[in-house]
Amino acid sequence: MRRLLALLVVATTLVALRPAVATDPYAFFDWDVSYVTAAPLGVKQQASQAFNFFFFSFTFSSQSMSSGADDQAGNCRVKDQIGSFFYFPSTGLQRAAGGFGGIVVNNRDVIAVPFGRPDGDITILIGDWYNKNHTDLRKMLDEGKDLGRPDGVLINGKGPYRYNDSLVPDGIEYETFNVHPGNRSICPLALISTVANESLWRHVTGVAVLRYSNSCGPASGPLPDPPQDHDDRSFSMNQARSVRWNLSAGAARPNPQGSFRYSAINVTQAYLLRSTAPVTIGNRRRATLNGLSFSPPATPLRLADAYGVKGVYRLDFPDRPPSSPSPPRVGRSIINGTYRGFMELIFQNNDTRMQSYHMDGYAFFVVGMDYGEWTEDSRGTYNKGDGVARSTIQVYPGAWAAVLVSLDNVGIWNVRSENLDSWYLGQEVYVRVVNPEDTSNKTEASIPDNALYCGQLHKYQKYGLSPTSSDHMLLSSSQFPHANTLH
């Protein structure tokens, strides 16, 4: 087994309600990332190239006051974000190689939750899998090709249960979850896919087995019929709408959970972000929001701000899609957010496949979704009381979804498609939030010592590091680690 780098060390801080004492709020995890040869679906795949840098992004951390801490080893604040999340490598389509895992953030004893502590956690990471190296997948996208149908579905890095001898070959390792009678277990689920296309996924199946310790034999028989929602577009959306915040439950603060009345806050900025099917721009296949396909600059955005480097990006991202037909373009336009403002983001999916969008640095309130084109009248259907706070939102084909977010976290934050191919092809934008009155780093942390300086700022690089083809880095690992658990 060939070794990468050395060690990725992440120190995680949990903010408590009471003063921290020694050994109290810190948890340290060492992640040893290695090259492996794996064949979860029977086809061997192996990395063949080493590199100097790789970066991990965390869906669980708002990176409070430090947008520069994402993708960096070191200290990150988890605050009171109780729940199940995942981390993944964030460049060069590495996520398609299986380099991700789960993180569970549990409540501390001083924070009451409306349910008993479970006897255990069962983390389930579900994702599609291609029997091609991620470098080959990236080459296909660069050549303007569609990735096509995945070869299978992995559950925690393992293939399907052999429910059918002719469809699933012998020797495929599958996942088994053991639950002891009388015990309570929490099962965090995360869908981590490269593509999200219902017409393709109907032909791809992954099966896991949940086995009780006193069961008499293995699972048998045909698979049960799935929900018949293919011809009923409202089935899944109504389920998503039914997820509400329990305003009467205890919170991680001494005030009532429902005291944050987001419907009473005036919206200061509104952006309608429209996605379409991939387009051709300059003989290259690209994905867009509002007709713009983002091209990452050589100089990091927030570092360009800190050092006064001009021309790295433009603060002119359109708040609406073009009203008249105009050719799509590649650019580096970002959203100029107002510090302590209240922003409305509407995601309009005019593609034929499911989309989901994630926002770094924030949790937003999901207030509405429906089929058709969003209009000003759509606000009359918003959930104005108990919308769930989350950082990722699904947007159904031919539909829209609306979220509200309080811009209280200074930095430059990524809003991106969670479909890996769309993200790679440029379907993302950044929101810049700056406190103009802060001259002493009270609302934004200092630049991390291990920040990667490149582009026009490469001369400031510390520790003898130097970037090497950072957007073409390679990570191949299908060893899905068990979820790390934070208390």
* pLDDT value, residue 86: 74
* pLDDT value, residue 400: 98
Whole-number Cα distances in Å, 351 to 86, 125, 348: 26, 26, 9
* pLDDT value, residue 156: 81
Kindly report the average pLDDT of the chain as a whole number. 74
* pLDDT value, residue 363: 86
> Could you give the CA distance from residue 115 to residue 94 in angstroms, rounded to a whole number?
37
Average pLDDT score over residue span 415-437: 92
**pLDDT class of 52 with cuts at 50, 70, 90:** very low
Q: Pick 227 or 146 by higher pLDDT.
A: 146
Q: Is the pLDDT of residue 287 over 80?
A: yes
Residues, the chain: 487
**pLDDT class of 40 with cuts at 50, 70, 90:** confident
Q: Is the pLDDT of residue 338 over 80?
A: yes
Q: Which of 57, 316, 67 is nearest to 192 (CA)?
A: 57
Partners of 10 in the beta sheet?
Answer: 29, 74
Average pLDDT score over residue span 286-307: 92
pLDDT digit string (tens) for 231-286?
A: 677 888 999 999 998 777 655 454 444 557 888 899 999 999 999 999 999 989 99
**pLDDT class of 80 with cuts at 50, 70, 90:** low
* pLDDT value, residue 87: 74
Asked if residues 334 and 431 have their Cβ atoms less than 8 Å apart, the reply is yes
Asked if residues 60 and 85 have their Cβ atoms less than 8 Å apart, the reply is yes
Q: Pick 251 or 318 by higher pLDDT.
A: 318
Q: Which of 289, 276, 271, 274 is nearest to 330 (CA)?
A: 289
Q: Pick 77 or 174 by higher pLDDT.
A: 174
Q: Is the pLDDT of residue 347 over 70?
A: yes
Asked if residues 192 and 206 have their Cβ atoms less than 8 Å apart, the reply is no
On the 0-12 / 13-18 / 19+ scale of CB atoms within 10 A, 462 is exposed
Domains present along the chain, CATH in parentheses = 267-439 (2.60.40.420)
